Structure 1
Amino acid sequence: MIKHIVLLVSFFLFLACGSSKNNSTVLENAPEWVVKTPVNNFNYIGIGMASKASSDYREKAQKMALTEISNSISVTVSSNNSLNVFQYDDTFNEFYRMNSMVSSAAFLEGYDVVDVFENENYYYTYLSLSKQKHQELKRARINKALESSLFKFDYAKKLTLEKNFTEAIKQQIYALEDISEFLSEDLRYKENQIEKPYVSYLMNSIFTSLNQIEIQFPSKQLNIKHASDPKEIYIQPITVVSQNKPLSMIPVSVFYSWQPGQKLDLITESNGNITLIVPRNCSKNNLEKINILLDTYSLVKNISQNRVVQKIFENYQSKKFELTVTKKLPTVELDVFLIEKNRKNLNALEDELFQLLAADYFTLASKNAKKDFTITIENKKVENLQVNGKISTKLESRIKITNKSGHIIYQETIHNVIGIGSSTELAEQDALQSLMDKIKMVNYTAMVQTML
C-alpha cells in the first residue's frame, strides 16, 4: 500500500515539475509563472498544467496545482509527537506520513486563483494559499474534530460504566476516526483542570478495552479418547466476555496446532457464545492445543472504513487463549503369522510394526487386557521357485483391522510380495521384509487413520 502511495506522489510531483520545465509548448507571451514557479514566503504556491485533449482539463490542472501546494505543506513525524503511541507498528508512521501527503490536497480550502493561461494545446492555473489563513482554517478543523472526538469518547466512558462494552469500543473507534487526520498534532484535553495529550490517552483507553476482552472455555482441558469418542466433538459454550459481561458480534480467530497455517474465523452470537465442532484429526500426537484470539483488525474494520484507523490495528497482537487437548490413543493387539503346514507366528515383524505404532503413541495391549483394535496380518506362500542356485518365494498377505466389537474397519490384500535368497528360509525372510517395507510405504498411514 505504501509503495503505491509513494508512486502516486512521485507521479504528481513529476507532472507538477513538468509545468515549470516543459517550455517548448509555451507561447512567447506566456506569463513568467508558467515558466518558473514563483517563490513567496507568506503563501503556498501551486502551478498546474493539463492537456486540452481531455474534456476535464481545467479540473486536472487545478488538482495538480493543489497537489503541489499539499506537497509544500510538510507533514513531519517527529520523535516527540503523538505518533509515538503507535511505535508497536514500525510501518505506521511512514504510512501515515505518505497517506497525509496524498490526501491533504482534498482538504485544502481558502486558496485563491491568481491567474490562468492557456494556448492551443495546454491549460495552466496559478493557485495561492496564504500560510496564515491555512493555519487558521486547519486549527478550526482540528478544534471541530477534537470536539466531536471528545464527545464520543465521553459517551464511551458512560457506556463502559453501564457495562455496554461492545458499544463502548465502537464509540472509542469513532472518536479515533474523528481525529485520524490530525494524529501528528499535539492534541490536548483537560482532566481535572490539567492538560493531557489526547491521542495517547484515547489510544491507551482503546487498548485497555481490547485487553480486557477474554475468551472462556467450558473446561480447562479437553480429553479425547480415540476409538470411543465421536468423530466430531462439540466444544460449547465458548464465551467472549469483558469483565464477565458477554460480548456479541465479536470476531475471533481459531487455530488448531494440528493444522499449522490455517485458521477458522467465527463471530460471537447475541449471547457472546461460539461453538466449535472439532473433527477427529489424524494427528498422532497425544498433546495438542486450540488457540483462540480476538480478531482485532476485523473488529475495527467492521466499525470504521477509515484506512488510517484500520492501519493502526492491522498488526496489533491481541492476547491468546489456549485450550489444551490431550489424546489417549488406541490400544492395539498384533497378530502377524505365516500359514504353512502349521501357523507360524512372526514375532520379529510384530515387534517392528509395534515400534512404528509406539512412535505414534499407540499402546500395545497385553494378552488379557481389553484392546480397542486387533491388527491381523495373514501371510501365505503362493509360489516357490529355484533358479541358478537361488530360491524365490512369493507371498500373498492380507491385512485386517477389527474393532472391539469385532467389525472389520480396514482390509487390504497385498499381492506379489517376493523374496530371494540362497535358501528357502532366507528367501522367506527377504519376502517378509519386503512386506514390511510395502506396509510402511503404502498401507501404514491409512491403517493409522482408520484407528484414529
Structure 2
Amino acid sequence: MKKAFLVIYSSFILLSCGGSKSSSTIPANAPDWVQKTPLSSFNYVGIGMAPKTSSDYREKAQKMALTEISNSISVTVSSNNSLNVFQYDNTFNEFYRMNSMVSSASFIEGFDVVDNFEDKNYYYVYISLSKQKHESLKRARIRKALESSLFKFDYAKKMLEQKNFSEGIKQQIYALEDISEVLNEDLRFTENGIEKPYVSVLMNSIFSTFNQVEIVFPSKELNINHAKDRMEISIYPILANIQGEALGNFPLKSNYSWLPGQSQFWKTENSGVFGINLTRNFNKNTRERITTYVDVPTYVKSISQNNVVHKIFENYQPKKFELPINKTLPVFEVNFYAVDQTKRKITNLEEQLNSLLERDFFTKATTRNKPDFQIAIESKKVENLAVNGKTSIKLESKIVITNKAKQIIYQETIHNLIGIGNTLELAEQDAVNSLFDKIKIVYYNPIIQSML
C-alpha cells in the first residue's frame, strides 16, 4: 500500500488586545479595564461581560473572558512534526486544526480573577493568565499524556509478542487516545538508544498490525452453475486471523462487483470465522468477485469514544481479500417456427437469436451438451388482407421457455405483428421479421432473466 504523508498545519488565531469597549453600555464609574482591555507582555488578559438577566450571569461572563484568552493563545504546530499515516486529505487537516483550537480553550487553567465590576444591568470580570505558568502547565500536560501513552504502547507490544492481537490492537488505540489532544506537538521518545518521533512510530505500529490481518476463504474460487445450483449460496467458513491466531468478534465488510456502491457488514464468531450468504445475482457476467476486509472505523469506534481517533481511521484503507466467482450460464436450444403450426423452422431467425444468446455467454446445445432450457417461438395468423396487389397479414406469436423437467418458466404472447408483401409468403416473412425485432427490443432481457 502506498503511503501518503501528512503534515498537520494549524494557523495562528490572534485577536487584537487593547480594543475599546462600546461606550453605550459602559457606566461612567466603571474601572479603566472595563473600557479598554489592558495590555501585558507577561500575561494573557480576558475581559468578560454578561447581562444580569439570568442567574448564571457570573459564569457566562467568566466563560467569555476565558474565550478571549484562548483566542490569544496561538496553537503553534511544529513544522517538523508529521504523522506518518495513510491516505489523509484536507478534511482531516481542517478537522484537527479546529480540534486543536477547541482543546487549547478547554485546557486553560491556573488563571486569576483580578477584578470584577457590576451595575444594575451588567456584570464584568477581569481574568489574567501568566504566560509562563500556562506554558509550564502545558508542558506538564504533554509530558503526562506521553508517559501514559508510552506505558500502553509498551503493553501493546508485549501483547502482540504473545500473539494476543485483539488486546494488542486495543492498547495501541488507547495509546493513541492518550495523545490525541497533543498530536500537534513534536513528541519524541527513545527506543533502543535512538530518539524517534513517537506519533509516527505509534501510527505505523497500528497500521502494521491491521495489515497483518488475513481473511481466508474456504476455496480459491467459487464456481456457480446457474442451471443447477440453488438460488441461495452460503460461503462458510471464512476465517479472519493474524499469524494463524483467530480474531473473534471482529467487524468485517464485504463488497460485491455486481452491486457497486453497496456493502454488507459481518462480525466473526469467537472462533474467528464468519459466513457470507449470497442471493443469486441475475446478470450475464461470467466473472465476478467478492472483496472482504476489516471494517477498521467500526472496530476503532468499539474501542474508543475519542473523535480525533475516529477521524484518523475514517479514510484508512486496509488490505483487501478477494474471492473470484466463475459463473457458468445455462445451455439453451431455440426452435423458431413458421406460421399456423406448419412446424417449418425459420433457420435464419434461429441463428440470429442463437448469436445473441452466445454473445451473452449462454451455451448452444449440441448432441453431447443437452439443453437446460428450450425456447420455442410459434406464430399463428389472425388476419389476412389483399389490397391493390399487396398482401397484409397480422400475426400473434407465443414465446414459451421450458426447463429439463418440461416446466414452463417463461411465456409471453405478442399481438398485432403486421407484415406486408407482394405475396402471402413475403408478407409472412415481413411479419416474422417484425416479431424478431420486437423480441430483441422488448422481450430479450426477460428471456435472459428467466434462465438465470
State the percentage of identical aligned residues: 62
Letter matched to residue 256 of structure 1: Y
What residue in structure 2 maps to residue 120 of structure 1?
Answer: 120
Q: Secondary structure at the match of 2:83?
A: helix
C-alpha distance in 2 between matches for 1:27 and 1:268: 69
Distance in structure 2 (CA, Å) of the matches to 1:20 and 1:440: 82
Corresponding residue for residue 35 of structure 1: 35
Q: SS of the counterpart of 1:323?
A: strand
Does residue 85 of structure 2 align to residue 90 of structure 1? no
User: Cα–Cα, structure 1 residues 24 and 337, in superposed 2: closer, same or farther, change >3 Å?
Assistant: same
- The residue correspondences of 1:174-213 to structure 2 (distance < 5 A) are 174-213=174-213
Greater helix share, structure number: 1
Contact map agreement 1:26 1:119 (CA 8 A) in 2: no
Q: Which amino acid aligns with 1:119?
A: D
1:385 Cα deviation (Å)?
Answer: 2.1
Does residue 142 (structure 1) correspond to residue 142 (structure 2)? The answer is yes
Q: CA deviation at 1:139?
A: 1.7
What is the CA–CA distance in structure 2 between the aligned matches of 1:297 and 1:53, rounded to whole Å? 45
1:166 matched to 2:204: no
Q: Quick check: 209-218 or 86-95, which moved more?
A: 86-95
- AA aligned opposite 1:89: Y
* Mapped contact 1:70–1:104 kept (Cα < 8 A): yes
Match of 1:313? 313
Counterpart position of 1:3: none
- The answer on whether the counterparts of 2:254 and 2:290 sit within 8 Å (CA) in structure 1 is yes
SS at match of 1:269: coil
Q: Which amino acid in 2 is paired with 1:176?
A: L
- One-letter amino acid matched to 1:27: P
Seen in structure 2, the aligned counterparts of structure 1 residues 21 and 277 have a Cα distance that, compared at 3 Å, is same
| Alignment correspondent of 1:77 | 77
Give the Å deviation of 1:199: 1.4
Q: Deviations over 1:225-261 (max 9, x none)?
A: 1101111111111111111111012111101101111
Q: Give the deviation of 1:405 after TM superposition.
A: 2.2
Cα distance in 2, alignment partners of residues 436 and 410 from structure 1: 17
Equivalent residue, structure 1, for 2:235:
235
For 1:51 and 1:425, the matched residues in 2 are separated by 99
Q: How far apart in 2 are the matches of 1:298 and 1:341?
A: 65
TM-score by length of 2: 0.91
The answer to whether residue 17 in structure 2 is matched with residue 47 in structure 1 is no
Offset of residue 288 of structure 1: 0.7
Given that 1:384 and 1:392 are in contact with CA atoms closer than 8 Å, whether structure 2 keeps it comes out as: yes
Offset, 1:368: 5.0
**Structure 1, gaps ≥5 residues long:** 1-8
Superposed, which structure 2 residues align to 1:276-291 within 5 Å?
276-291=276-291
- Residues 357 and 51 of structure 1, relative CA distance in 2, 3 Å threshold: farther
Q: Would the alpha carbon gap of residues 163 and 427 (structure 1) be closer, same or farther in structure 2, given more than 3 Å must change?
A: same
1:75-133 per-residue CA deviation (whole Å, 9 max, x = no partner) reads 2334311x332473122233212111123222211011112223333322221111111
Q: Cα distance 1:398–1:122, how it changes in 2: closer, same or farther (>3 A)?
A: same
SS at 2:344 equivalent: strand
Give runs of aligned pairs for residues 349-388 of structure 1, distance below 5 A.
349-367=349-367, 369-387=369-387
Q: How big is the shift at 1:398?
A: 1.2
Distance 1:390 1:302, change over 3 A: farther
209-218 or 94-103, which deviates more:
94-103
Contact 2:187 2:199 in 1 (8 A): yes
The question of whether the paired residues in 1 share the 8 Å contact of 2:218 and 2:238 is answered with yes
Q: Structure 2, unaligned stretches of length 5 or more?
A: 1-11
Q: Could you say what the CA RMSD is over the residues aligned between the two structures, in angstroms?
A: 2.3
Matched residue SS, 1:326: strand
Contact 1:19-1:48 within 8 A present in 2 as well: no
Compared with structure 1, are the counterparts of its residues 339 and 430 closer, same or farther at alpha carbon in structure 2 (3 Å cutoff)? Answer: closer
Which runs of at least 4 in structure 1 moved beyond 6 Å after TM superposition?
16-19
Please state if 1:155 is matched with 2:162: no
Deviation at 1:341, TM superposition (A): 6.6
Q: Which residue of 2 aligns with 1:258?
A: 258
C-alpha displacement of 1:219: 1.1
- Residues 39/445 of structure 1: CA separation in 2 closer, same or farther (3 Å cut): same
Work out whether 1:267 is the aligned partner of 2:279. no
